[in-house]
Amino acid sequence: MRIVIVGNGMAGSRLAAEIRARDKDARVTVFGAETRAPYNRVLLSNVLAGTAGPEQVCLPTPAEGVDTRLGVTVTEIDRAARTVRTADGGGEPYDVLVLATGSEPVVPPIPGATRAIAFRTMDDCDRILGAAATATTAVVIGGGLLGVEAARGLSGRGMPVTLLHVAGHLMDRQLDAEAGLVLGEALAGLGVTVRTGARAAAVHPHGVELSTGEVLASELVVLACGVRPVTGLARDAGLPVGRGIIVDDRLRTADPAIYAIGECAQHDGTVYGLVAPAWEQAAVVADLVTGAGPAARYRGSRLVTRLKARSVELAAMGETHLTEESAGTVEVVRFTHRARGIYRKLVIRDDRLVGAILLGETPAVGTLTHLYDRGGPLPVDPAGLLFPGQDAAPRADSPVRMPDAARVCECNNVTKGRIRACWEAGARDTEAVVAATRATTGCGSCRDAVEGIIGWLCRQEEVRA
């Protein structure tokens, strides 16, 4: 069977590895428009901040036997001939085609927007760092997850940064107004000036003009105004497209020979913009196309958004915004300490956690994520979950109290039990456990927890000895 994957990002490269792990003889060809080997896009803000180099965010090398074509753009799908055409005039036949084309940055329709640099790829990161070498100030347009990461990354280099966001508070899709306020204050303490309710009207050679006429002087302007799925290839081939390429529970399009995964795919009305769902989808497609799991189905993902910005810890999951309709059906437990940049909120329905925001010191994030993901029952006094030093809420990062079923790495679905099993099988350091489980290779926020579990296991062995 000839399997062709269009897209060599975090979804496409993962799918190729998953397929080869199930079938060593699978014929897999991957086309990547970028000339670079696949890298972890989630960690680009660390490259901006200088806490990681480009080589440190590279993804594992392609699985043996995978034919990877870097810098080759697929321009057409000939469904009748089951062949993809490429910009260099070539073509590749397929029995199974998987579209993993990802997303592209949204560029606002304002004068001079092309003078700004979108923050999406490693090449974008290189351009931003090149400009930052001579710039004295920066403006980031867009206060969503990516914009916050970009602003924090640049401020980490000692550069004054102004973060503009058109909505009333930062990360308004994931956070409520109070959490957005606390986040803004935390960023201000790290050198980022936050301007909410601010609309950019134009980008000039030496600054950004606001809709009010005010001009913010800046030699570097970064765009982080959201992304849109790349669907043109599918649309031109006559496949149904909504916000993304429409797929069923098998992640198949209307053409049973063509699948779609990752940020370009729309499943059950939802387009997922995070890495964990893309990797879950890759596993399902690998099971199906290799025959390793013919009953595999994708039922959607429960999202946990993690902010990957140095000195700012944030996790948001589930129902974080309350409507008039939902307010009467849920219980809200909340704690705020603005001076310390702490905001914790639990949303509970029928004694189950259906949403949470954890900003600042978040020692209970593992426990809460586990409760949210599994729908487990809450303690009699759920307020104890906000203060994990109490017996009502075992610390998620305390291995002795953490159940083996607790997920440590959300992106790769790695539990404490799996880490323990790898350790007992001989993986006695972090690098060996990462190689065996892929833990920490997504957003990277679980690395401390993984290292803590390995250290605890080593100490237990020393005690027994």
> Which residue bears the tokens 């790349």?
230
Instruction: Examine residue 306 and state whether it is found in any structural domain, yes or no.
Output: no
209 and 265 in a single domain? The answer is no
Residue 408 lies inside a defined structural domain of this protein? yes
Both 382 and 401 in a single domain? no
Please tell me the predicted confidence (pLDDT) of residue 446: 82
Counting the structural domains of the chain, the total is: 4
Q: Answer yes or no: are the C-beta atoms of 393 and 362 closer than 8 Å.
A: no
If asked whether residues 363 and 266 sit together in one domain, one would say: no
User: In whole angstroms, what is the distance from residue 123 CA to residue 106 CA?
Assistant: 16
Question: What is the residue-wise DSSP string for 191-240?
Answer: TEEEEES--EEEEETTEEEETTS-EEE-SEEEE---EEE--HHHHHTT--
Predicted pLDDT of residue 389: 57
Q: Are 306 and 314 in contact (CB under 8 A)?
A: yes
What is the C-alpha separation between 343 and 246, in angstroms, rounded? 37
- Residue 462: CATH number of its domain: 1.10.10.1100
Residues 154 and 221 in one domain: yes
Contact residues for 91 (Cβ-Cβ < 8 A; gap 6+): 78, 83, 84, 85
123 in a structural domain: yes
Q: Are 260 and 166 in a shared domain?
A: no
368 and 416 share a domain? no
Q: Is 369 exposed, middle or buried (0-12, 13-18, 19+ CB in 10 A)?
A: buried
Nearest residue to 91 (alpha-carbon basis) of 6, 20, 25 = 6
pLDDT of 394 reads 41
Residues 139 and 203 occupy one common structural domain = yes
Residue 314 lies in a domain: no
Query: Does 220 share its domain with 234?
Result: no
Of 388, 413, 429, the domain-final residue: 388
- What amino acid is encoded at 123 in this protein? D
Q: What is the DSSP letter of 79?
A: T
Report yes or no on 339 lying in a domain. Answer: yes
* Backbone CA torsion sign across 431, 432, 435, 439: negative
Amino acid identity of residue 72, one-letter, is V
Quick one: 85 and 98 in the same domain?
A: yes
Query: Across the chain, which distance is largest between two alpha carbons, in Å?
Result: 72
Domain identity same for 145 and 122: yes
Domain contains 437: yes
Residue 393 is predicted with a pLDDT of 38
Q: Which of 388, 419, 449 is the C-terminal boundary of a domain?
A: 388
Contact 234, 99 (CB under 8 A): yes
Tell me how far apart the alpha carbons of residues 98 and 72 are, in angstroms, rounded to a whole number: 16
Q: What is the CATH number of the domain that holds 154?
A: 3.50.50.60
For residue 465, what pLDDT is reported? 65
| Within a domain: 33 | yes
10-residue stretch averages of pLDDT, the chain, 465 residues long: 96 96 95 94 90 89 88 98 96 98 96 95 95 95 95 92 97 96 95 97 96 96 96 98 98 98 97 94 98 97 83 90 80 92 93 94 80 84 75 48 77 88 87 87 81 86 72
Does a structural domain hold residue 278?
A: yes
Do 126 and 25 belong together in one domain?
no
Domain limits at 374? 319-388
Contact 141, 167 (CB under 8 A): no
- Are 136 and 217 members of one domain? yes
Q: Any idea which residue has 């900003």 for tokens? A: 359
